[in-house]
Amino acid sequence: MKPLQRARKCSPHARREDKPTRLFKTTSAGKSFPASRPKRLAALALLGFAICLPASAVATATESLSELCRRLEHPQDIAERLHAAEAIAEYGQRAVPPLCALLRHSDSKVREFAGLALVRIGPEAEQAVPQLTAILQVPQELTRATALLALGRIGPAATPAVPAILRVAHDPDWRLRKYAINALASIGTAEAVRALTALLQSDERDLQIAALKAIQQCGPSAATVLPVLLEFGVTASDTDLRDEAFLTAGQLCEVAVDDLSTLLDADQAETRRRAAMALSRMGTAGESAVPALLQALLDPDAAVRFWAARAMGGIGLKDPATQFALVQTLIDADADVRWAAADALHRNGLDAF
């Protein structure tokens, strides 16, 4: 039997892939989600359904914007208010000033549905950012969750709200913290990324994991915090946090290649493993790391060799030197490493070896 065939019969186990970590989960510190949703969030669920409806299903062509705004004050019928919010959203930017006025209404339900209309309007609701930010600064305000959703939907234009959103990310209500972190990820600017990075200083592991996963969604804006991510990946309190920090760095692709390549020569085997694991997430963007990965295939630690082979398979085996290095790895002493080499060759159409 050929070396490649023998290697592919070996089933990798612990080092093939790390188990995914849930973004939010129940903790033992009393921060779990309640068994049932508060009534004030029922409208959010209805909005999710209404967003899927065509505009004609909820808008009334004969009603003016002012008439629709009055319908938001309907005292009992939630569906009536929801349909009015949907119809108001069809006015887009034109509807924002009256909706901002309704955000100051004495009835929290009116404020809620005005916020839902702004969620539906999205980026065109930039003018509402100051009023939505003011809502976040009132600790007992019932519409803070809706305000966070609206700010996230507005996107980068909501950057001035980042300091207020960061304060809500420390709120005792874990549900609100979830909305705040999601809003920062949706805004995605350098300021939002720095706010998410600040959450890494928390002593709550779940909050740190959530912040790292949110940073992964921010794209190129996260490049500015690469040094912080790598330092956290070396010094964090537990293995999962360190792994997640390196995987977050790996999402930055070309920006992080040089730093991760350097860490393949670190003194600690765990740091070398995490650097190779992060490079394995880059695909062809990690091409400049190939020389360092070739050396990592000879690392004394089997986990480092495994992830180096995985990374090279994703980057591509474009020249005979890298192909030959993977073929040699087919006789590695570790079964997982042999499988990783065989899989890398297979993914690059080199089964003939």
Spans of all domains in the chain: 253-353
Residue 178 pLDDT > 90:
yes
Domain 253-353 sits in CATH at: 1.25.10.10
Q: Average pLDDT of 114-141?
A: 93
Q: Are 117 and 95 in contact (CB under 8 A)?
A: yes
Q: How confident is the model over 20-50, as pLDDT tens digits?
A: 333 333 333 333 333 334 444 444 444 454 4
Q: At what angle do helices 42-51 and 108-121 cross, to 10 degrees?
A: 30
Mean pLDDT (the chain) is 83
Against a cut of 0.95, is the pTM above it? no
Query: Could you tell me what percent of the chain has a pLDDT over 90?
Result: 62
- Report CA-CA distances (Å) from 186 to 92, 148, 182, 302: 20, 10, 6, 39
The lowest-confidence range among 21-30, 37-46, 57-66, 115-124 is 21-30
3-state DSSP helix/strand/coil % of the chain, to nearest 5: 70, 0, 30
3-state secondary structure of 291: helix
